[in-house]
A and B are shown apart, each in its own frame.
Chain A
Amino acid sequence: MSTADKTLRIDVVDVGCISSPPDTTLLTALEAANINIHYHCREGFCGACRTKLIEGEVEYTTDPLAFIDDDEILPCCCVALCPLKIKVPL
């Protein structure tokens, strides 16, 4: 499979669509697409990058310690498992 097949489409509400390469955190993928969202720790303990997950599923690379609601994710420590629709803190 070529890498193009593996990239996932991320629909960022109010911003636009990007494609996320596999194995990179969502935050890195957003930054690579010049979408600079709010973040602090990049390790899942501060919660600054709290993002609404409207559609899709993610997997955490490290256990998030910050409080997140059921429909929220921490892009700094998760990777997309399928195409996503998210609303990010700018």
Chain B
Amino acid sequence: MKYTTFNQQSTNPLVEPMFFGNPVNVARYDQQKHAIFEKLIEKQISFFWRPEEVDVSRDRVDFQKLTDPEKHIFISNLKYQTLLDSVQGRSPNIAFLPIISLPELETWVETWSFFETIHSRSYTHILRNLFSDPSDIFEDIVVNDEIKRRAADISKYYDDLIFATQLWQTQGEGVHTVDGVPHTINMYELKKKLFLCMNSVNALEAIRFYVSFACTFAFAERKLMEGNSKIIRLIARDENLHLSSTQHILNLWARSKDDPEMAQIAQDCKEEARAIFMNAVQQEKEWADYLFQNGSMIGLNKEILCSYVEYIANQRMTAIGLDAPFEISSNPLPWMNNYLNSDNVQVAPQESEISSYLVGQIDSAVSEDDFADFEL
């Protein structure tokens, strides 16, 4: 079905499925099939922040004091975070928007992606402060084998879905041969690709981010790189919300609260979904290996990080109806909770380093003493 930016047919979004129904026409939010997405949009917008608000200038001094293995951990970690947000800043838009049928979901995806672009901009903010020329760091992201391997796995499911959607929207269902390779395009195949893609995104938001968060916060536990940690806290708060949204989508499908065919696919592909998660866990453990190849840092080593990955994977997998595969019952990094707590994210502007905050402002606090020398 050809995509149209404004569907001229009257549709009733209250009966459309989340994906692969009629294209959205009027962006209206007075009535919603799945009100949760509108609530997520509101919450996400209330989190709005700018990287420039956080002063990272002290990090440069801290960075010089780090040992070489610690520098490797810190920089590799930032490269990986940059990769993740580069993918997330564009992919949900490109993959999901052309097939979404609900206005509230469409706007949620746009809002979600927009916040990922804020994250991407903040990595430049951090790196620009650490190096006079951060080009080498950015350029390494596309040539570093350890990062490339992860990038391939993350983008694979998106690319698959995008390509199949393009074939379907231009040529319809059937078998289409492109560059000598036949591709079977039918609704079941398309929806299956969507289901696998959503699981891969869920695993990305649920696990992949957390390994790098743990490293960032381990530096902050030692009062190092605190500007960076402040930014990553803001990012983590956003990612928590994004994770919620993919969990909602997967559960709406699995519980047959949206598209019955998706409920069937969720059943049919349960093992594949599980494999996507397990593969992400394995890759993150390999990443931990790479991070600590030159030596550990105080408070964190490969073993602790790997058991944290298992712990968090148990939590995330049970959230989408999969079994907890790992035998770990308590949190190996309890201090992570403090950093992921949104109460601890600094929101009072006058207490954080917002240089613009007091410019042009009037102090409206008046106490009785201010009138002490005042006579009528």
What residues of chain A have their CB less than 8 Å away from a CB belonging to chain B?
Answer: 36, 38-43, 45-48, 50, 63, 65-67, 89-90
B contact residues around A39 at 8 Å (CB): 337, 341
Per CB-CB distance, the 3 closest pairs between chain A and chain B, nearest first, are A46-B240, A40-B340, A67-B247
Q: A41-B341, A42-B342 are in contact. Are A47 and B329 (CB under 8 A)?
A: no
Q: Are A46 and B243 in contact (CB under 8 A)?
A: yes
Residue B270 is within 8 A (CB to CB) of chain A in the complex = no
Instruction: Please measure, in the bound complex, the distance between the C-alpha atom of A43 and the C-alpha atom of B251, giving whole angstroms.
Output: 21
Q: Nearest A residue to B236 by beta-carbon distance? A: A40
- With a cutoff of 8 Å between Cβ atoms, the chain A residues found around residue B248 in the complex are 67
Do residues A40 and B337 form an inter-chain contact, with CB atoms below 8 A? yes
Please determine whether B319 and A41 come into contact, CB atoms closer than 8 angstroms.
Answer: no
Q: Which residues of B contact A42 (CB under 8 A)?
A: 341-343
Task: List the interface of chain B (C-beta within 8 A of A).
Answer: 36, 39-40, 43, 236-237, 240-241, 243-244, 247-248, 251, 315, 318-319, 329-331, 334, 337, 340-343
Which residue of B has the minimal Cβ distance to A41?
B342
User: A89 to chain B: which residues have CB within 8 Å?
Assistant: 315
Most buried by A among B39, B43, B342: B342
B236 surroundings in chain A (CB, below 8 A): 40
Residues of chain B lying within 8 A (CB to CB) of residue A90: 329-331
Given the known inter-chain contacts A42-B341, A46-B243, please indicate yes or no for A67 contacting B40, CB distance below 8 A: no
Assess the B330–A41 pair: CB atoms within 8 A. no
Bound-complex Cα distance A90 to B330 (A):
5
CB-CB < 8 A to B341: which residues of A?
Answer: 39-42
Whether the pair A36, B342 counts as a contact (CB closer than 8 A) is: no
Report the minimum CB–CB distance from A24 to chain B (whole Å).
Answer: 15
Q: A44 to B47: give the CA distance in the assembly, Å.
A: 14
Residues of A within 8 A of B43 (CB): 45, 65
* Min distance, Cβ A74 to any Cβ of chain B, angstroms: 11
Per a CB cutoff under 8 Å, which of B36, B330, B334 touches A65?
Answer: B36
What's the least CB distance linking A73 to chain B, in Å? 14
**Min CB distance, A79 to chain B, in Å?**
17
Task: Given A65-B40, A67-B251, A90-B331, check contact A38 B315 (CB 8 Å).
Answer: yes
Complex CA distance for A40 and B315, rounded to whole angstroms? 12
New contact pairs (8) apart from A46-B240, A90-B331, CB-CB < 8 Å: A39-B337, A40-B340, A40-B341, A40-B342, A41-B340, A42-B343, A45-B240, A65-B36
Set of chain A residues within 8 Å of B240, measured between Cβ atoms: 40-41, 45-46, 48
Q: For A46, give the chain B residue with the smallest CB separation.
A: B240
Q: Quote the shortest CB–CB distance from B364 to chain A (angstroms).
A: 29
What residue in chain A is nearest B339 (Cβ atoms)? A40
- Report how far A89 CA is from B317 CA in the complex, Å: 13
> B322 CB to closest chain A CB, in angstroms?
13
A42 to B345, CA, bound (A): 11
| Minimum CB distance partner of A36 in chain B | B334
A66 to chain B, nearest CB (A): 5
What are some 27 contacts across the A-B interface (CB < 8 A)?
A38-B315, A38-B331, A38-B337, A39-B341, A40-B236, A40-B240, A40-B337, A42-B341, A42-B342, A42-B343, A45-B40, A46-B240, A46-B241, A46-B340, A47-B243, A48-B240, A48-B337, A48-B340, A50-B315, A50-B319, A65-B39, A65-B241, A66-B244, A66-B247, A67-B247, A90-B329, A90-B330
